[in-house]
Amino acid sequence: MQLTIVNPNTTASMTRAIGAAARAAASPGTVVTAVNPDSGPASIEGYYDEALSVPGLLGEMRKAGRADAFIIACFDDTGLDAARSMVEVPVIGIGEAAMHMATLVAGKFSVVTTLAVSVPALEHNVLKYGFAHRCARVRACEVPVLALEDPASGARAKISAEIARAMAEDRAEAIVLGCAGMADLARSLSAEHGLPVVDGVAAAVKLAEGLVALGLRTSKVGGYAPPRPKTYAGGLGKAEA
Amino acid sequence: MQLTIVNPNTTASMTRAIGAAARAAASPGTVVTAVNPDSGPASIEGYYDEALSVPGLLGEMRKAGRADAFIIACFDDTGLDAARSMVEVPVIGIGEAAMHMATLVAGKFSVVTTLAVSVPALEHNVLKYGFAHRCARVRACEVPVLALEDPASGARAKISAEIARAMAEDRAEAIVLGCAGMADLARSLSAEHGLPVVDGVAAAVKLAEGLVALGLRTSKVGGYAPPRPKTYAGGLGKAEA
Amino acid sequence: MQLTIVNPNTTASMTRAIGAAARAAASPGTVVTAVNPDSGPASIEGYYDEALSVPGLLGEMRKAGRADAFIIACFDDTGLDAARSMVEVPVIGIGEAAMHMATLVAGKFSVVTTLAVSVPALEHNVLKYGFAHRCARVRACEVPVLALEDPASGARAKISAEIARAMAEDRAEAIVLGCAGMADLARSLSAEHGLPVVDGVAAAVKLAEGLVALGLRTSKVGGYAPPRPKTYAGGLGKAEA
Amino acid sequence: MQLTIVNPNTTASMTRAIGAAARAAASPGTVVTAVNPDSGPASIEGYYDEALSVPGLLGEMRKAGRADAFIIACFDDTGLDAARSMVEVPVIGIGEAAMHMATLVAGKFSVVTTLAVSVPALEHNVLKYGFAHRCARVRACEVPVLALEDPASGARAKISAEIARAMAEDRAEAIVLGCAGMADLARSLSAEHGLPVVDGVAAAVKLAEGLVALGLRTSKVGGYAPPRPKTYAGGLGKAEA
Amino acid sequence: MQLTIVNPNTTASMTRAIGAAARAAASPGTVVTAVNPDSGPASIEGYYDEALSVPGLLGEMRKAGRADAFIIACFDDTGLDAARSMVEVPVIGIGEAAMHMATLVAGKFSVVTTLAVSVPALEHNVLKYGFAHRCARVRACEVPVLALEDPASGARAKISAEIARAMAEDRAEAIVLGCAGMADLARSLSAEHGLPVVDGVAAAVKLAEGLVALGLRTSKVGGYAPPRPKTYAGGLGKAEA
Amino acid sequence: MQLTIVNPNTTASMTRAIGAAARAAASPGTVVTAVNPDSGPASIEGYYDEALSVPGLLGEMRKAGRADAFIIACFDDTGLDAARSMVEVPVIGIGEAAMHMATLVAGKFSVVTTLAVSVPALEHNVLKYGFAHRCARVRACEVPVLALEDPASGARAKISAEIARAMAEDRAEAIVLGCAGMADLARSLSAEHGLPVVDGVAAAVKLAEGLVALGLRTSKVGGYAPPRPKTYAGGLGKAEA
C-alpha cells in the first residue's frame, strides 16, 4: 500500500520528522512517502497560512503518482475538502484522525495546540466534524510550530503543563496533540499523565490503512464530486484522480 | 494481535458469519475470535433486547482471556460504555465504527437498519457520538435481523431500495449498513449504487487494529474508570481488566 | 393508584428510604411499593453498575403485578428505555423527573451528584433529554452512594458546598440532587441556599401520578414498541405488559 | 390548593371550556379558577396577539388573590417568563406542560396547532425548552382558534388528518395538541390513532399540582428575580407576589 | 429616509441620548425620530419590564406616521417579533444589530450588559438568533440602566473591567455593549482595549438604512403575517401597516 | 469610501456584472472597484475551485491599494477567514451578508444556489455562521455558474421554480440567492413570489458601508491576528494591512 503524506508547509526538517513518525506507525507492507511543497508558508499558524498552503498541497498530490491514500499532515486539516474533491482515494487530515481516535477511547478530550491564533480554526473544525460536545476545550501552549523542533523552547514542559490544566479544569479524559510537530511526544506524555494522548500523524496512518483495506474511497456523490471541466488560469488546478 | 468479537445475541450462525466477515477484514497477524453468550435474546431489536444482552456480553468479555481489543458486534453498540469501564484495552462498537469511517469519505451519510423499532436507539447514538449533522437520516428496511440470513426474505432488494431512497431524498453521500447481519452486502451494494457503503464489522476490525497499534487504551480517567469495589449479588459483575 | 418504585441496586436500606420519600410525596390514594432486585450491584456508580442492574430491575417490574406506573429510582435513569418497551403504563426515571421539574421553576439548573465517575453518564442523559442548554453543569461532591446514609461521611456539608459553588460559578437558578439517596436533603438545602432544590424521587412520584391521571401511557409506536416474540435464553426477558 | 388559570385571550366561552377541562383533570382538593382579561385580543394567533395579551394576563394574576400556582392557558406560553418574575409560586404554560409530558411517554412528538402563523413562535419555544430533537415537527391544521368551538368548522377531522400525516411523515410517537381550545379532543384522538395525544391544559394542572405538593416555587435567583422597584407609568406593572 | 426609533422605556432623557447616538451614526438624508411611550416601565430590567413595555412600544409605532424602518432601542429586543408582525417595513432590534455586526468582524464576542437579571433573556436571544457558538458569554457589570447616565455610578470603569475579564476568561474577540444607555462608550472602550466594541444603536441604524436601500421588507409569509382581523378589547391592538 | 470587491473567479464579464450590481446598491460617496484575479478557476463550483481561487483573491487584495472595506463576491465566502487575517479593515462575504440580512426580515430562509456540488460547502457555512435553525434548506437549481449569464439557460425559470418549492416544502419566509451571478434577479423574483429575496452582493455593500461608518474593523485579537513573520516561498503571502 502506498501512503503519501503531504506536509503542507515548506519546512523539510518537519516533513522528515512526520515521515518518520508515520513509518513508525505504518503496518508492514505500507510504503510511506512524505513530501512538502516548494512554495507556501514555512509553518501554518492561522487562517492566512492555511489558505496559502493549499495550492502547493494540491500540487504535491497531483505530482504524487499512484497513491492508495493521502494524509494531510497539518492539524488544521488544511485543504482537506478540496483534496477530497480532487482524488478518488481516501484523504485523511491528521486533526480529524486524532479526534476520531480520541472519541473511541474517551468520553471527552481536550486539544493542546501551538498558538492561540490557531484555536478558532480548530474550534471550527470541531464543530464541523460533530465533536462540539466531545471536545472539552481547544488549548494553546503558546509554542510556535517551528520552535517545537528546538529543545531550548521548553515545548515539552509547556505542553505537559497544559495537559495538567486540561485534566483539572476541563475534566478531559484524553488529550489530542494539536500539531504534526508534536508527534514524538504522545507516548511519554501519556505515561506521565496517565491518560490517552493521541498524535494525529500516527492516527491518520492507521485510519488511512483501514479505509484502503476496506475498499472505501471518497464519495463522488455530492460535495466531493470531481471538479467540473473548466479553465484554471495561471497553471493552477489541473485535476486528476 | 488477539481481537475478540462478541456478538451480543445468542444466534451462533450469526456469530459465525460475523467472525468470517471480521477475518476477511483483519490484517495478517490478527487472530479473530468470535463468541456469543448463552443467555439473552436471539436477536437485538430495540431497547429491551439491548438491555437483556448486556450481562451476557460482559460475561463473554470476562471469560475471553487476554484480548488486545474487543469489538461489540451489534449495530446498537449495546453495552459499549459498560464494556469500556470493565477493561483497559480498546472496545469498539460496530455502529460507531461504521459512522466514523463514513464521515472520513463523505460529508453526510444515511443509515439503513433492519426495523423501525431500532431507529430511535440509533438516532440517540448518532446524537451522542456527535454525528447529528453528519447523519442525514436513519432508515429501516423492515427486514428482521434473523431474516437477513434467509435468502427468501428479499433482504438485499429491500436494502438496495432503501439506499436508492436515501440518495434521492436525504442527499446521502455514503450509506452505513445498520446491522451486523448485513456485513457481506457492503461491497456489492457500493458497486450497485456508486457510493461508499460501510459495514461496521469490518470497520471495527480496522479501528481496533489501529488503536492497538497506536498503543491507545481506554481512558481510566472519568466515566470509564474501573468499577469501584462492591458486592455484585447473583453472580454478576466480577470486574477484571 | 398503584405506584411501583424499583431501586435498581440491591441495598434494602436504601430502598426503604426511597419508599419513605416516595410515600411522603404521594397523594392520598396512591399506594407506593418500593422494591429492589436480589441480584446486581449494591450501588450504581458508573456505566458498568448501571448495565448490570438492568436485568434485575426488569425482573422486579415483571414480578410486580399490576402497577399503574413504575418509577426507576436511580438518578442515571438506569434501564429506562428498556423498561418503557416492556410495559404499557408510564415509567419515569428520577433523573429525568428532577430535571423536568427544575426547568419549570428556573431557567438553568446544575446537578450535584455523588462521584465524578457518574458525571459523563449524566451529561449524556442531559443531552438526550434536551436540557444541554438548561443544565449549567453536572457536579460531583465525591461522596459515594452508600456513604450518603452514614452521618460520619459529611455528605450534607459536601453537597451544600457544591451547591454554593454551582450558584457562584454556574449561575445556577435551581439545583437538582443527583442521587436517590439524597432525597431527604432537598428541603433543608433549599432553605439554606434560597433557591429550588429538586429531589428526583418526589418529582417522579408527582409526574407518575400526573400521567396516570391524564390517562397517558407509554407510546407503543416507534422505539417503545413491545419486544418482538423471540427466544430469550437463560431465563431472561419474558416480556409482559 | 388554589389553582388559577388565566386564559390570556378575552373570549369567555373559551375560558369556561378551559376551566371545565382543568377541573376534569384536577385532584380532589384542588380549586380551579379560570379567568380572562377584559382587554386584549379575542384569540391569540401569532406574535402580535401574544404581545398584546400579556398586560391583561399579568393584570389578572395581580387581581387573583392568593393562588398556589398559576397556569397560562395559551399554547404559545404567552408571557410565561414575565409571569414567573412577578410571583413566587409556580407558573406553568400549557405548551411547555404538554411537551414535557409527551417526552415522558414517547421518544419524539409532533405538535398539531391551529394556524401556520403560530408555527414559528412554537418552534421557537421548542428550541428554548430544549426539545429541538424531541419535537419532530410543528404542524398547523389551518383551523382558526375560535373556529374550534364551531362544529361546522370540521376541526376534529382536520386535526385527525394532520395527526395521521405526523405519524406517517414525521415518525411521531406522540402528538401534542397545540391549542387550549383542543382540550376535549385528546382522548378520542388518542383512541383513534393509537398513540398518546397530550392536551396542555390537563397536563399543566398535573404539573402545577405536583410542583405545589413538592414545595417547589419559582427561583428568585437569576432571570426570575422580582422586578426592581421603579415607576411603571400608565397604571401598568404594580408587581406583587 | 425616515427612521423611527422607539425607546420602549419611559425615560425621556435616555430617549434623547439614544436619538443623538442614532443621528451621529445616520447617513446624510436619514431623518431620525426618537420617541418613547408614556406608559410602561422607566427602565427595562428583566422579563417583567420587557413584557409591560411592549404595548406602549407598539402604540408608538402605530402613532409614528410613515417610517421607512423602525428600531427598537432596548438591548433585549423587546417586542421585536410583534412589531415585525404589525408593519411591513423593516424593524431592527439593537441587540440583534450589535450581535450581527460583531460576528462580521470577529469570530467570537462577549456581551457586557447591565444587571444579572437580564442575562437569561439575552442568552435566550443569543440562542434564538443562532449565535450560541459565536457568543462566548453574556456578562453583567451590575450597573442599573438608569445609573448609566449618572457619572457617580462608576459605570464606565465597571464596564471596562468586565471587558478585560471577557478578553482574559472568554477569549472574546469583540465586545457587544448590552444596553442602549452605553451607546456613547463604544469608541473609547474599543480604543482602550484594542478590539471592536459594538454599540447596538448605531449598528441598528446602519442595518436599517441598508435594508431600506435594498428594498427588503419584513416577510409577510409565515410568522410575521399581518394580525388576523379580530376584536382587540380595551383600546389595544389596532393593527396598521 | 473606497469599497473593493474581489470576484475570486477569473471571468471578467461576471466581475463587471458584480461591479454594476454593487454600484447600484452603493451610497453616494462610495467608490466601488470590482476586480478579479488573473489566475485561478473560471467559476467556483465546489471545494476544489474554492481552494484554488484563494491565492489569487488574496493577491488582488494585496494589490488593491487603500480600501476602506473588501467584499468577496462568491457565495461560498471563499477565503474569508484568510482575508480577514490579512487586513485590518472589514471584509464581508456575500454569502454571510445575504444570510444576515435575511434573518432580519424573516424567521427562516432557504438558499437557492447553482449546483448540488456546492450545497455541502454552503451547509457548512450555515452551521459555522450560526444559522442552522434559521436556514430551512440549501437548494440547487442545477444551473452552472457561467450559464447564469446565458439567456438560453432558462436560469430564471429554474430559480423561480426552486423558490416555489422552498415556499411549499421548507416553509421558507425569505429566499437567499446563492450565487453572485444571480444579483440582478432579486427584485423581480421577490415581486413574483411575494417574499423577500436577498442578493448577497448588494447586501454586502450595505454591511460594508455600515461597518466602515461605525468605525468597526476586523478584530486582531484571536483568530484574525496578523500572520506571524515567516518565509512564504514561491512569491506567495506577502502580508500587508
pLDDT, residue F235, reads: 67
Contact present, E219 and F173 (Cβ < 8 Å)? yes
The more confident residue out of A172 and E148 is A172
Contact C105 D219 (CB under 8 A): yes
pLDDT, residue C240, reads: 38
Query: Residues of chain A with pLDDT > 70: what percent?
Result: 97
pLDDT, residue B139, reads: 98
Closest by CA to B175, choosing from A216, A81, A224, F140, is A216
Partner-chain residue, chosen from A81, A222, A233, that has the shortest CB–CB distance to F39: A233
Tens digit of each residue's pLDDT (9 = 90 or more) over B137-192: 999 999 998 999 888 889 999 999 999 999 999 999 999 999 999 989 999 999 99
Give mean pLDDT, residues D113-121. 96
Distance from CA of A120 to the nearest CA of B (A): 19
Write out residues in chain F with pLDDT < 70, as ranges: 235-241
pLDDT, residue F189, reads: 97
ipTM of the complex: 0.96
Report the residue of chain F nearest E199, measured CA to CA: F214
CA–CA distance, C84 with A6 (Å, rounded to integer): 52
Give me the residues of B, 198-237, that contact A with CB < 8 A: 198, 202-203, 206-207, 209-211, 213-224
C-alpha cell recorded at residue A157: 514542559
Contact A133 C127 (CB under 8 A): yes
CA–CA distance, C30 with C45 (Å, rounded to integer): 30
Contact present, E41 and D237 (Cβ < 8 Å)? yes
Question: What is the CATH T-level fold of the domain F96-198, as seen in this structure?
Answer: Rossmann fold (3.40.50)
Distance from CA of A122 to the nearest CA of C (A): 22
pLDDT, residue B238, reads: 56
Return all residues near A240 (Cβ < 8 A) that are at least 6 apart: A62, A86
Partner-chain residue, chosen from F104, F207, F223, that has the shortest CB–CB distance to E92: F104
Contact C120 A107 (CB under 8 A): yes
Q: Which residues of B touch C84 (CB under 8 A)?
A: 47
C-alpha cell recorded at residue E4: 423611527
Residue C24 touches partner B, C-beta closer than 8 Å: no
Return all residues near B32 (Cβ < 8 A) that are at least 6 apart: B3, B5, B19, B22, B23, B26, B205
Contact B42 C120 (CB under 8 A): no
CA–CA distance, A216 with C213 (Å, rounded to integer): 54
Q: Is the pLDDT of residue A240 over 80?
A: no
Q: Which of F111, F117, F123, F139 to mutate to test the interface with B (most CBs of B within 10 A)?
A: F123
Distance from CA of A219 to the nearest CA of B (A): 5
Residue D76 touches partner E, C-beta closer than 8 Å: no
Contact F107 D120 (CB under 8 A): yes
pLDDT, residue C151, reads: 85
Q: List subunits contacting chain D, requiring 3 or more Cβ pairs under 8 Å.
A: B, C, E, F
C-alpha cell recorded at residue F42: 473560471
Over its C-alpha atoms, chain A yields an Rg (Å, rounded) of 17
Report the residue of chain E nearest A126, measured CA to CA: E133
Distance from CA of D58 to the nearest CA of E (A): 9
pLDDT, residue E238, reads: 56
pLDDT, residue A99, reads: 98
Partner-chain residue, chosen from F101, F172, F218, that has the shortest CB–CB distance to E105: F218
Give the right CATH number for B95-200 from 3.40.50.12500, 3.40.190.10, 3.40.50.12780, 3.40.50.300. Answer: 3.40.50.12500
pLDDT, residue D234, reads: 81
Contact present, D109 and D174 (Cβ < 8 Å)? yes
Distance from CA of A153 to the nearest CA of B (A): 27
pLDDT, residue A221, reads: 96
Contact A108 C119 (CB under 8 A): no
Contact present, E139 and E112 (Cβ < 8 Å)? yes
Partner-chain residue, chosen from E100, E171, E214, that has the shortest CB–CB distance to F206: E214
Beta partners for residue D176, in sequence order: D111, D198
Q: List subunits contacting chain C, requiring 3 or more Cβ pairs under 8 Å.
A: A, B, D, E
Give the right CATH number for B2-93+202-229 from 3.30.43.10, 3.40.30.10, 1.10.260.40, 3.40.50.12500. Answer: 3.40.50.12500
* Cβ pairs D/E, distance under 8 A: 170
Q: Is the pLDDT of residue B237 over 80?
A: no
What distance separates the 2 farthest-apart alpha carbons in chain F? 54
Give mean pLDDT, residues A225-235. 89
CA–CA distance, D94 with D161 (Å, rounded to integer): 23
Q: How confident is the model at residue A151 (pLDDT cuts 50, 70, 90)?
A: confident
**Helix, strand and coil in chain A, % to nearest 5:** 50, 15, 35
Give mean pLDDT, residues A101-122. 97
Report the residue of chain A nearest E106, measured CA to CA: A120
Give mean pLDDT, residues B15-29. 97
Q: How many residues are there in chain E?
A: 241
Question: What is the CATH T-level fold of the domain A95-199, as seen in this structure?
Answer: Rossmann fold (3.40.50)
pLDDT, residue D206, reads: 98
Conformation bin of residue C226: beta by default, left when phi > 0, alpha when psi is -120 to 50: beta
Report the residue of chain D nearest C126, measured CA to CA: D130
Give mean pLDDT, residues A62-77. 96
- CATH assignment of A2-94+202-235? 3.40.50.12500
Contact present, D7 and D14 (Cβ < 8 Å)? yes
Q: Is the pLDDT of residue C212 over 70?
A: yes
Tens digit of each residue's pLDDT (9 = 90 or more) over A183-201: 899 999 999 999 999 999 9
Least confident range of A39-43, D162-166, E149-153, F107-111: E149-153
pLDDT, residue C239, reads: 45
Distance from CA of D114 to the nearest CA of B (A): 28
Chains A and D touch (3+ CB pairs under 8 A): no
The chain-wide mean pLDDT, for chain A, equals 95
pLDDT, residue E240, reads: 38
Burial of D193 (C-beta count, 10 Å sphere; 0-12/13-18/19+): middle
Q: Which residues of D touch F107 (CB under 8 A)?
A: 120
Distance from CA of F33 to the nearest CA of D (A): 41
Query: Residues of chain D with pLDDT > 90: what percent?
Result: 91
Q: Is the dihedral of CA B209, B210, B216, B217 positive or negative?
A: negative
Q: Is the pLDDT of residue B52 over 70?
A: yes
Q: Which of B131, B177, B216, B217 to mutate to test the interface with A (most CBs of A within 10 A)?
A: B216
Tens digit of each residue's pLDDT (9 = 90 or more) over B188-231: 999 999 999 999 999 999 999 999 999 999 999 999 999 999 99
Write out residues in chain E with pLDDT < 50, as ranges: 239-241
Partner-chain residue, chosen from D108, D133, D173, that has the shortest CB–CB distance to B127: D133
Q: Which residues of B touch C50 (CB under 8 A)?
A: 82
**What is the SS3 assignment for C220?**
coil
pLDDT, residue C235, reads: 67
Contact F121 A236 (CB under 8 A): no
Question: What is the CATH T-level fold of the domain E2-93+202-235, as seen in this structure?
Answer: Rossmann fold (3.40.50)
Distance from CA of C110 to the nearest CA of E (A): 15
Burial of C211 (C-beta count, 10 Å sphere; 0-12/13-18/19+): buried
Residue C10 touches partner B, C-beta closer than 8 Å: yes
Fold matches, D2-93+202-235 and D95-199: yes
Tens digit of each residue's pLDDT (9 = 90 or more) over A157-170: 999 999 999 999 99
CA–CA distance, C161 with F218 (Å, rounded to integer): 43
Domain boundaries, chain D: 2-93+202-235, 95-199
CA distances from D193 to B120, C91, D103, D165, D181 (A): 20, 21, 18, 11, 20
Partner-chain residue, chosen from D46, D54, D55, that has the shortest CB–CB distance to E227: D46
Give mean pLDDT, residues C90-105. 98
Report the residue of chain C nearest D107, measured CA to CA: C223
